[in-house]
Structure 1
């Protein structure tokens, strides 16, 4: 599925207008449609006015109640997937203040029980040393001092035994030199140390391991309700169950190729030594 950031906002309006138009063409009031779909009339109203973005399950129920033809079901389903996707540009985060982004992440992490992180290119802030975090923010055209503090504060999540945190890192991500070589050795040692925490499972994929697909993007899955994908210029948020399931499938495929526990720590210690 390809789309531009502009499409994401437009798709929500298009979806609301399309569903309202289809209901009227079927000669149904909002109340009658609501009864057929086992939804409240207020929910139908919010969907048709764009105040609420329906899930794919909601839309399938509505289209079934309207006896929509299969071709139309497929078309509206695709529109629903796009409407359940958000684009957050990096420049918007800079304008709002990068620390606000950290507050949003802290909220997502507090609400989730199981979080899965796929890191193909560099180390995430949750696992990073202060020096590594500061280096990773040097490109930002704003004061990042508060953001560094917030990132370090978020690391308390690692010690929350009510959470299940799984990190998969490629060898390239571990070795990407954001800081001088001695500091990189300290950073990699930290990964080995964090892997011993009871709430954390940390795996690494060494170079040379054969995988079925390329590690294109950093992504995070929060339970089975939300997935985020990081790019150089922003972040995409997926809420559609099928998109989340696809990311879970991809994560599982990389997890099967990863090395964990003592074998992973042996690799990390060797990589850290190579930087000393």
Structure 2
């Protein structure tokens, strides 16, 4: 339980009010503070972030007098200096709205899938056949404010939930996404051993949260050490994936195999 929740709420409201009075958008302030927009939203809503220096970056980016900034810095340090006992399950949530919130606001997303096509590039037919809820990333995949990278195994691209003809459209969508300037696709060929063996697919949002799909829910992980482990796992998987022309050629080869199945 956080004994200084009221103080964090007051700090968050103060920051939001100054931002609005200064006609700063949340995107602009987050960029000036060099933090993610989602982190700024958490601060303004009174949530405790891992390091008080993150909040101080926001204060330093605000157009306020030095004496006001100094007073606010002192309040921030006092709020973060109090005892704070984390629950055993702190940093893990099964609330679907939290996962959707990260999908709406994240600036950088890194996704790995070993059994299915990445959520951000699934066609509606594929998602329905896989009995998976649509991702809000599908609507953002071409947005220039989203930096999206994904690594998928060749086996995942060769696994289909319905007929092969449906997979032709799905693979076309993967190829289309490869051409977008804000998207980077890596494919791990079946002949390449994995450096780590993830028990499930996952998506890392702004290096601050990880969303994991289960059969019945989406789990959001924000505990820093756990998130860091996923970030490291993604980097290792990305290192063994083929990218660029090699990835596109591999996707096209898989598509040709599905064409033969469809006839």
Q: TM-score, length-normalised on structure 2?
A: 0.64
2:153 alignment partner, one of 148, 164, 170? 170
Confirm or deny that 1:42 pairs with 2:36.
no
Confirm or deny that 1:85 pairs with 2:92.
yes
Task: Specify whether residues 166 and 185 from structure 1 end up closer, same or farther in structure 2 by C-alpha distance, changes over 3 A only.
Answer: same
CA RMSD of aligned residues (A): 3.4
2:189 alignment partner, one of 198, 202, 206? 206
The alpha carbon displacement at 1:213 in A equals 1.8
Q: Which secondary structure state, in structure 2, belongs to the residue aligned with residue 172 of structure 1? A: helix
Structure 1 residue runs of 4+, over 4 Å off? 52-58
Do 2:171 and 2:251's aligned partners in 1 also have CA atoms closer than 8 Å? yes
Do 1:121 and 1:173's aligned partners in 2 also have CA atoms closer than 8 Å? yes
Q: TM-score, length-normalised on structure 1?
A: 0.62
Do 2:111 and 2:202's aligned partners in 1 also have CA atoms closer than 8 Å? yes
The alpha carbon displacement at 1:55 in A equals 5.0
Question: For residues 254 and 190 of structure 2, what CA distance do their matches in structure 1 show?
Answer: 12
1:113 alignment partner, one of 87, 96, 107? 107
Q: Tell me what 1:131 maps to.
A: 125
Question: For residues 108 and 157 of structure 1, what CA distance do their matches in structure 2 show?
Answer: 12
Confirm or deny that 1:235 pairs with 2:229.
no
Question: For residues 90 and 235 of structure 2, what CA distance do their matches in structure 1 show?
Answer: 26
Do 1:211 and 1:254's aligned partners in 2 also have CA atoms closer than 8 Å? yes
Q: Tell me what 1:37 maps to.
A: none
Q: Tell me what 1:8 maps to.
A: none
Question: For residues 128 and 41 of structure 1, what CA distance do their matches in structure 2 show?
Answer: 42
Q: Which secondary structure state, in structure 1, belongs to the residue aligned with residue 89 of structure 2? A: helix
Question: For residues 225 and 99 of structure 2, what CA distance do their matches in structure 1 show?
Answer: 24
Q: Which secondary structure state, in structure 2, belongs to the residue aligned with residue 115 of structure 1? A: strand
Q: Tell me what 2:23 maps to.
A: none
Task: Specify whether residues 215 and 206 from structure 1 end up closer, same or farther in structure 2 by C-alpha distance, changes over 3 A only.
Answer: farther
Question: For residues 242 and 81 of structure 1, what CA distance do their matches in structure 2 show?
Answer: 14
Do 1:81 and 1:240's aligned partners in 2 also have CA atoms closer than 8 Å? no
Confirm or deny that 1:267 pairs with 2:232.
no
Do 1:131 and 1:179's aligned partners in 2 also have CA atoms closer than 8 Å? no
Task: Specify whether residues 221 and 81 from structure 1 end up closer, same or farther in structure 2 by C-alpha distance, changes over 3 A only.
Answer: farther
Do 2:99 and 2:211's aligned partners in 1 also have CA atoms closer than 8 Å? no
Do 1:119 and 1:170's aligned partners in 2 also have CA atoms closer than 8 Å? yes
| Structure 2 unaligned spans of 5+ | 10-45, 53-76
Matched positions, count: 201
Do 1:53 and 1:84's aligned partners in 2 also have CA atoms closer than 8 Å? no
Question: For residues 172 and 117 of structure 2, what CA distance do their matches in structure 1 show?
Answer: 13
The alpha carbon displacement at 1:170 in A equals 0.9
Do 2:99 and 2:219's aligned partners in 1 also have CA atoms closer than 8 Å? no
The alpha carbon displacement at 1:154 in A equals 4.9
| Structure 1 unaligned spans of 5+ | 1-15, 21-29, 31-39, 45-51, 94-100, 141-146
The alpha carbon displacement at 1:224 in A equals 2.2
Structure number with higher helix proportion: 1
